[in-house]
Amino acid sequence: MRLYAIGDLHLSFKPNRAALEALEPHPDDGLILCGDVGEKREHLALAFETAKSCFEHVFWVPGNHELYTMPGDERAAEEREGRGEDKYMECVEIARSHGVHTPEDPWVRWEGEGGPAIIALTFTLYDYSFRPPHISRENALAWAKEEGIEATDEALLHPDPFPSKDAWCHSLIAKFERRLEAAQAEGLPLIIVNHWPLRQDLVEIRQVPRFSLWCGSTLTEDWHRRFNAKVVVTGHLHVRRTDWRDGVRFEECSFGYPRQWSDAKGVGVDVNGLLREVLPGPKREETGGRTVWRRYG
């Protein structure tokens, strides 16, 4: 019984939906969906239904795209998407209806290969703190706009009922810190799962470096040490890689937009080859602790 992960399926893209159809059965294994499944209910339903048909256990954490409230919604008022926290809870209920574990559920003890361990599903958002020391929070968005960068989140991701995304982020971090502390007391290592990277030094987006503002919070930089992490699993960056910090393995497991996995497709690697093995996973001695770039899986 192995544990795999993939993030950023972005099922609003037709080629990504077609790619997901090729997912092969793993009847005894588990799969983590590491956020950014898509923006609409039907995207989540498709991902969860497909994943559950192939894997015994499926785990999901939200990314920013699941939290989008899309414009031009013509449905009746009672069927329209919520905003902010309400939209998140709508996604949680869709996941639960398909038998998928969410950050709002009791965390699962993994007894398969590489275990035992607790799969700690978290949701942190971001607070614009992944920025140079000389850039203030007040000037952060202007700093990014200097290079023509502004995340779609600024138009579609709402923090309701919180006054700002920063405030929502800090509330979430406090909530999940309490849960991590309680889980740590059980004496087992944790598999910490979050859509956004936990550490700023793992955010390397060479084409748009100032996009780092929307990539996490410095408040989670030491979570892997504080909470006895065995592996940290994230997505969001669309830069597949394996890293080691303080003896802890960090896995960025994005699938990405069609243009970002076309190179892998070109050498015969499909969605199955881009699943990341979380447990048992590679050993540090195999890489010498160096970054392993996973462009082709």
What are the distances in angstroms from CA 190 to CA 65, 138, 185, 207, 268?
26, 35, 11, 33, 34
Helices (H) and strands (E) in the chain, counts: 9, 11
Domains held by the chain: number:
1
Domain ranges, residue 96: 3-293
Rounded distance between C-alpha atoms, residue 263 and residue 266, angstroms: 5
For position 273, what pLDDT does the model report?
Answer: 97
Give the predicted TM-score (pTM) of the model. 0.96
Q: To the nearest 10°, the Cα dihedral for 275, 276, 280, 284?
A: 150
User: Cα–Cα distance between 81 and 102 in angstroms, integer?
Assistant: 19
CATH of the domain at 185: 3.60.21.10
Return the percentage of the chain with pLDDT > 70, whole number.
97
**Average pLDDT value for residue range 200-221:** 97
Q: For residue 124, is pLDDT > 70?
A: yes
| DSSP annotation of 25 | P
3-class DSSP state for residue 231?
strand
pLDDT tens, residue by residue, 132-142:
999 999 999 99
Query: What SS3 class is residue 193?
Result: strand
Using only C-alpha atoms, the chain has a radius of gyration, in whole angstroms, of: 18
Task: Tell which residue, 201, 270, 206, 211, has the closest CA to residue 236.
Answer: 211
Q: Rounded to an integer, what distance in angstroms lies between the CA atom of residue 63 and that of residue 44?
A: 12
pLDDT(74) > 90: no
- For the segment 61-73, the average pLDDT, to the nearest whole number, is 90
